[in-house]
């Protein structure tokens, strides 16, 4: 199972400039199961754009994303659905990840219903997920606003894990959290990765975080990806 970026270029068209704005050009890298590729670089250089492209949420202007060797652009519906389940994205602000009007319980069971999980099995899997994420069962009856950023980010990860992902794009996953909570989330990410052999693309502007988490590191700057 592999996930590769091959010669990706992205240009945003602009109403003013006929040429459009090239964000990056000819970017290639590969994610490996159980390992982290750290992507750093200054703000505005295209890290999030690249992350969204590899997760299939946005299309490249040129180049291809290959999942198990097959380009996303040529996939049949069922194959694409598998890709969308197996490659997940986790964002900076966990409050955006949950519907503020729904109890956590309902946001979680929605995912399991989509997977056609029977009711008794849903309860078992939800409890197991909370244990993995390091959360008490009480959070299930709460609304998102009643939980801390750290608890919500644990839940966001837990909900992703219910989908049994092979790869997760982590876009600044701790940047919205208090410094004291950041390390806890990073350790949780490492633990989960070791247990489930998930490959990460970790995006961060924080070099210390990238170095702590990653086997390989790339810098996206001036439209180019350089491995360091």
60 touches ligand ADP by CB under 6 A:
no
Binding test (CB under 6 A) with ligand ADP, winner from 23, 133, 177, 219? 23
CB of 135 to ligand ADP, least distance (A): 29
Q: Give the one entry of ligand ADP, Mg ion, none that residue 45 binds, where binding means its C-beta sits below a cut-off of 5 to 8 angstroms depending on kind.
A: ligand ADP
CA distance 86 to 13: 30
49 touches ligand ADP by CB under 6 A:
yes
Binding pattern to Mg ion, positions 27-56, x when CB under 5 A?
--------------------xx--------
Q: Give the one entry of ligand ADP, Mg ion, none that residue 12 binds, where binding means its C-beta sits below a cut-off of 5 to 8 angstroms depending on kind.
A: ligand ADP
Q: Give the one entry of ligand ADP, Mg ion, none that residue 121 binds, where binding means its C-beta sits below a cut-off of 5 to 8 angstroms depending on kind.
A: none
Dihedral (CA of 3, 155, 110, 131) sign? positive
Closest to Mg ion by CB, 27 or 161: 27
Closest to ligand ADP by CB, 44 or 74: 44
CB of 174 to ligand ADP, least distance (A): 15
Binding test (CB under 6 A) with ligand ADP, winner from 3, 27, 45, 189? 45
Closest to Mg ion by CB, 139 or 201: 201
202 touches ligand ADP by CB under 6 A:
no
DSSP-derived secondary structure for the chain: --EEEEEEEEEE--SS-TT-EEEEEEEEEEE-TT-EEEEE--TTSSHHHHHHHHTTSS--SEEEEEETTEEGGG--HHHHHHHHHHEEEE-S-GGGGS-TTS-HHHHHHHHHHHTT--HHHHHHHHHHHHHHHT--GGGGGS-GGGS-HHHHHHHHHHHHHTT--SEEEEESTTTTS-HHHHHHHHHHHHHHHHHHT-EEEEE-S-HHHHHHH-SEEEEEETTEEEE-
86 touches ligand ADP by CB under 6 A:
no
The window from 45-53, 162-170, 191-199, 209-217 that contacts ligand ADP (CB under 6 A) reads: 45-53
Query: Starting at the edge strand that comes first in sequence, how are the strands of the sheet with 21-31 ordered?
Result: 21-31, 3-12, 62-67, 70-71
Residues that bind ligand ADP (CB under 6 A): 12, 23, 41, 43-49
């Amino acid at each position: 199972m592999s996930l590769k970026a091959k010669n990706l270029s992205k240009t945003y068209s602009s109403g003013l400039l006929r040429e459009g704005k090239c964000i990056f050009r000819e970017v290639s890298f590969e994610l490996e199961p159980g390992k982290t590729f750290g992507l750093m670089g200054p703000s505005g250089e295209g890290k999030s754009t690249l992350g969204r492209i590899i997760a299939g949420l946005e299309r490249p202007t040129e180049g291809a994303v290959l999942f198990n060797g097959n380009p996303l652009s040529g996939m049949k519906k069922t194959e694409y659905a598998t890709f969308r389940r197996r490659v997940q994205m986790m964002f900076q602000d966990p409050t955006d990840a949950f519907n503020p009007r729904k109890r956590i319980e309902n946001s979680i069971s929605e995912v399991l219903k989509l997977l056609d999980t029977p009711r008794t099995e849903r309860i078992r899997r939800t409890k197991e997920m909370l244990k993995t994420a390091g959360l008490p069962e009480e959070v299930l009856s709460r609304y998102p606003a009643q939980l801390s950023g750290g608890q919500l980010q644990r839940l966001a990860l837990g909900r992703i894990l219910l989908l049994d992902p092979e790869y997760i794009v982590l876009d600044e996953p701790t940047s919205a959290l208090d410094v004291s909570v950041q390390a806890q989330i990073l350790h949780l990410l490492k633990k989960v990765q070791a247990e489930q052999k998930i490959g990460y693309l970790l995006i961060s502007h924080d070099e210390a975080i990238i170095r702590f988490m990653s086997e390989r590191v790339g810098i996206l700057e001036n439209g180019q990806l350089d491995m360091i």
